[in-house]
Amino acid sequence: MNAPGSRPSDRSRWPGEIGAALAVASFQLGRMVSRQRLLLAGLGVIFPAAVMLAVRRTAALGLDRDLAVAMIYALVPEAVCMLGLLVTMCPAVADELERGTWIHLAVRPGGRRALLVGTYLAAVIWTSTVAILAAALAVFVAGVSKPVPLVGMLGALVLLSSVGRAALFALPAVILPKRALVASVGVALVVEYLAGFIPAVVNQATVSLRLRSLLVSWMSWRRQLPIEIQLLIDPQPAWVQISAIFALAAVLLVVAVKILEYRQFPPSTEI
């Protein structure tokens, strides 16, 4: 029990901060249920299925299962998740600055942390839901064998992609809020797709390496891949890849929260 006038302990603050973050997440999810966002979500669900349907119709002998999985992986855990997170995570701070509500969050104890963590949770939930629906529809449209296990595998990759990349996009959101979208696209290109395909130590800190490794492991493709392609895959077991994604997401999110706690936004358009 704390003495009168003393600061509450970290243990006593945790329930309140978790509740605040969940409240922000609920509020952000409510804001996402708009006509424009639902239209974008619908396009995100339909587009991969439309691509798979077009490819299936052009395949005279039927669509190969491994090819279909590789295409759906590129379309959903990579493209749909990336675009969804750019739309939902990047405006975390910029929206509050534009609405003039940032000052109310900044002066509230734990308000900055609640804003970022709550927006992160909302972005992961919204993007994962849309992407899982897109993966399921694309798998069934592709007409491949054993579709249910594939949907489960792709759903797991979607969740991991959203968890890791939402934390990655949290950094541009707090460092350059007014240019977070452009900065996040640059980060995605340089970190995820340039560094992620360099067979060196640098790609160990990318989500793309972990997702590719999980896909190869769960599809049992390792022995079929050429030696040059195997250099782009981490041979560690699946639990190592999953742990690495969660550890990377935790580090990135903690860094983003710490930056936001000390970040000051002057009354200027040059932010």
User: Which tokens in the block code for residue 237?
Assistant: 């077991």
Higher pLDDT, 172 or 59: 172
Give the pLDDT score at 170.
92
Give the pLDDT score at 267.
61
Q: In this predicted structure, which of 47-51, 53-57, 93-97, 215-219 has the lowest mean pLDDT? A: 93-97
Q: Which amino acid is at 25?
A: A
Give the pLDDT score at 1.
45
Rounded to 5 degrees, φ, ψ at 9 are -70, 165
For residue range 118-131, what is the model confidence (pLDDT) as tens digits? 999 999 999 999 99
Give the pLDDT score at 11.
54
Asked if residues 187 and 37 have their Cβ atoms less than 8 Å apart, the reply is no
Judged against a pLDDT cut of 70, whether residue 269 lies above it is answered with no
Q: Domain ranges for the chain, please list them.
A: 23-262
Judged against a pLDDT cut of 60, whether residue 223 lies above it is answered with yes
Higher pLDDT, 163 or 12: 163
- Highest mean pLDDT pick, 3-12, 63-72, 218-227: 63-72
CA 97 to CA 115: how far, in whole Å? 12
Judged against a pLDDT cut of 90, whether residue 133 lies above it is answered with yes
Judged against a pLDDT cut of 90, whether residue 95 lies above it is answered with no
Give the pLDDT score at 150.
93
CA 29 to CA 39: how far, in whole Å? 15
Kindly state the DSSP code that residue 89 receives in the 8-state scheme: T
Task: Give the percent of the chain with pLDDT over 90.
Answer: 44
For residue range 156-210, what is the model confidence (pLDDT) as tens digits? 999 999 999 999 999 999 988 888 888 888 888 888 888 777 766 777 888 998 9
Judged against a pLDDT cut of 70, whether residue 64 lies above it is answered with yes
Rounded to 5 degrees, φ, ψ at 36 are -65, -45
Give the pLDDT score at 98.
79
Residues in the chain: 271
Average pLDDT, the chain: 85
Strand intervals (E) in 119-207: none
- The answer to whether the predicted template modeling score (pTM) of the entire model surpasses 0.85 is yes
Q: Helix 65-73 and helix 111-142: axis angle, to 10°?
A: 160
